[in-house]
Structure 1
């Protein structure tokens, strides 16, 4: 998949998503998906890009069509009409249990693991004194999951099922998502300072992880 597809994905996201929090969520889930791809052993740059694009696009239709009757289904229709690969379309559809889209590939299972947990990690970071994800301990996130009054809009079942579907212990998955957010924490508003507005033009993805050795 051409790297220019990321610019196309960002343009599509911004066409349908005008609010900054939802754009930041898309950017955050993209980072989590790239981290999950690396965990799954994905080394091919085009495949790694595809995982990231699924994260970037998974909720692009939500602002305009937020109900279960429309959300994801409208997005899938738009993606197909614009020539996006079926692998991307199906993974976007698979991120919500109610769609009935089966999760048959590692990428389709990973978007469930990434979506709700990424948002929850951000919420946990914002209630810390530092208002930063950089010093957020994974065990604090796991503990917060038990507090039903905290971030009550986040479906804990998605988080638990996501960890199960990729075969990761929950603390390990939480730590991975936290690490994924740190390189772009400033753009997400998770670095202890207010986030700048994300422009319609594509923003950089997170820096590549250093190669050991």
Structure 2
């Protein structure tokens, strides 16, 4: 395969992922990855696309293979069988702390920072009266991190590890993720109204720069 595009990534995601929450999570992580790429000084459009692609497909195999014995391993295997570039394969594997892919490149470090925090920020938005990420203060997210009963499945250690890997203070990373989600909040279901169904086609619009 030549360098994969958003269209390739969305087609793969939709082939393996039918549930709306997982599709929305993919888009939220893609937006965070693109914001992190810009923050890291990525200016080449193809490289920016690669970061977004990894964000979109990082969990593409999860619906079919949800256990740690299979998730990411099967996904990486499928990607290699289909000829996806190895750096995309490694990026997908790097987001799982239990995989054998140690995050080394900026892209691999970024997916760790983007994954859990994107989901956590969305959860924080949904418990606000507005149910919107657009008026979500970063301080509220940091406070919720200390509440172990809230979104208990989210590993707070991974949130902190992600910030360390990309060299950002956690409050700054939270601010970046909020800003990345805000332009597509309605699509993600964190804009104050129920999200529309994400169909297999057409490909959702590319998230704009925050």
TM-score under structure 2 length normalisation: 0.97
CA distance in 2, matches of 1:204, 1:154: 28
**Could you say which residue in structure 2 is the equivalent of 1:173?**
173
Matched ranges for 1:24-43 at <5 A: 24-43=24-43
> 156-165 or 1-10, which moves further after superposition?
1-10
Does the 8 Å CA contact 1:33/1:51 hold for their aligned counterparts?
yes
| Matched residue SS, 2:26 | helix
2:144 is aligned with 1:144: yes
TM-score under structure 1 length normalisation: 0.96
Matched ranges for 1:15-94 at <5 A: 15-94=15-94
CA-to-aligned-CA distance 1:81-118 (integer Å, 9 cap, x gap): 11111110001001011012111100000000000000
Does the 8 Å CA contact 2:3/2:85 hold for their aligned counterparts?
no
For residue 8 of structure 1, report the CA deviation from its aligned partner.
1.2
2:210 is aligned with 1:205: no
For residue 207 of structure 1, report the CA deviation from its aligned partner.
2.0
Equivalences, count: 209
Does the 8 Å CA contact 1:61/1:71 hold for their aligned counterparts?
yes
* TM superposition outliers: structure 1 runs of 4+ over 4 Å: 1-4
CA distance in 1, matches of 2:199, 2:58: 19
Can you give the 5+ residue segments of structure 2 that lack an aligned partner in the other structure? none
